[in-house]
Amino acid sequence: MPTPTHLVSILCLIACLGGCGTSRWSDTARTATEQRLVSNAIDESVYSIDVSPLAQQKVFFDVSQLDDSVQQKYLISTLRYHLLRNGCYLLEKKEEADYVVEARAGVVGTDRHEVLVGLPESSLGAGIPGMPAALPEIALYKKTNQVGEAKIGLFAYSRTDGNLVWSSDTKVSNKLAKSVWALGIGPMQRDGKDGPIRWAGEPPPQLPSIAMPNISLPQIARQPDEKNSEYQMPELAPPPTDLDPGNVSIKPAGNEELQ
């Protein structure tokens, strides 16, 4: 039988062996939602450009005008893939090409729109005894829409004489991500208008399905209702055909007989 000393030693050993685990994580400078919206807008804008007139042509792809674009490498790679997929021959040396294709991007970025029903976060100023430095946001309803937009165009000109031979319209694409808070609960997120709803990045919890018993009700034959049955007119006897009009007397409402 263990003595109290043994019990104390065992408890001390358990306390020394006990521990906890830690995890380290960090956030990127640009959120994944922002990058996804911008890249999806780039895809839709680029793939809507019809580059079939440049098929089977030797072209040099000039990307010098995309140096300051957001997600520049992804934009250039998407444009190159679109040209190659449609049969263009991309050459590394400008001197060997027949045409030069130049890309331009008017817009590659995001916008954010917020609607708040409640009290926004406000600063009261530091240094006041007994007063908090700021009041937190109190939102009865809050909605945030983040929009990724891309406006991209292409044109081609002859390498030898510099004449314009082809131009595409600038294609504009928008991608939407929505987040909603209601009575402090949220965010409920959705991409676009028809995307699946996520609860803080995960699918919403599903309520357990309850199997309803299959109850078959007895079929009761309906008896005809005599009260509501259709009224049948009785058959009347035909009028006599051998009446003598001179022998018919008519009694008026005044009970006076007329001869």
Query: What values do phi and psi take at 198, rounded to 5?
Result: -120, 145
**Is 4 contained in some domain?**
no
Q: What span, in angstroms and rounded, lies between the C-alpha atoms of 22 and 75?
A: 39
Q: To the nearest whole number, what is the mean pLDDT of the chain?
A: 80
Token pair 């007063």 in the structure block, residue: 131
**Is 221 contained in some domain?**
no
At 190, the pLDDT band (50, 70, 90 cuts) reads confident
Q: What span, in angstroms and rounded, lies between the C-alpha atoms of 200 and 166?
A: 47
At 202, the pLDDT band (50, 70, 90 cuts) reads confident
* Full-model pTM: 0.65
**Is 7 contained in some domain?**
no
CATH number for 177: 3.40.50
**Is 259 contained in some domain?**
no
**Is 242 contained in some domain?**
no
| Confidence at residue 259, expressed as pLDDT on a 0 to 100 scale | 45
Range(s) of the domain holding residue 70: 30-120+136-199
| Confidence at residue 27, expressed as pLDDT on a 0 to 100 scale | 83
| Confidence at residue 258, expressed as pLDDT on a 0 to 100 scale | 46
Number of domains in the chain: 1
CB 178 within 8 A of CB 145: yes
Mean pLDDT lowest among 45-49, 109-113, 221-225: 221-225
pLDDT for 144 beyond 80: yes
pLDDT for 176 beyond 80: yes
**Is 191 contained in some domain?**
yes
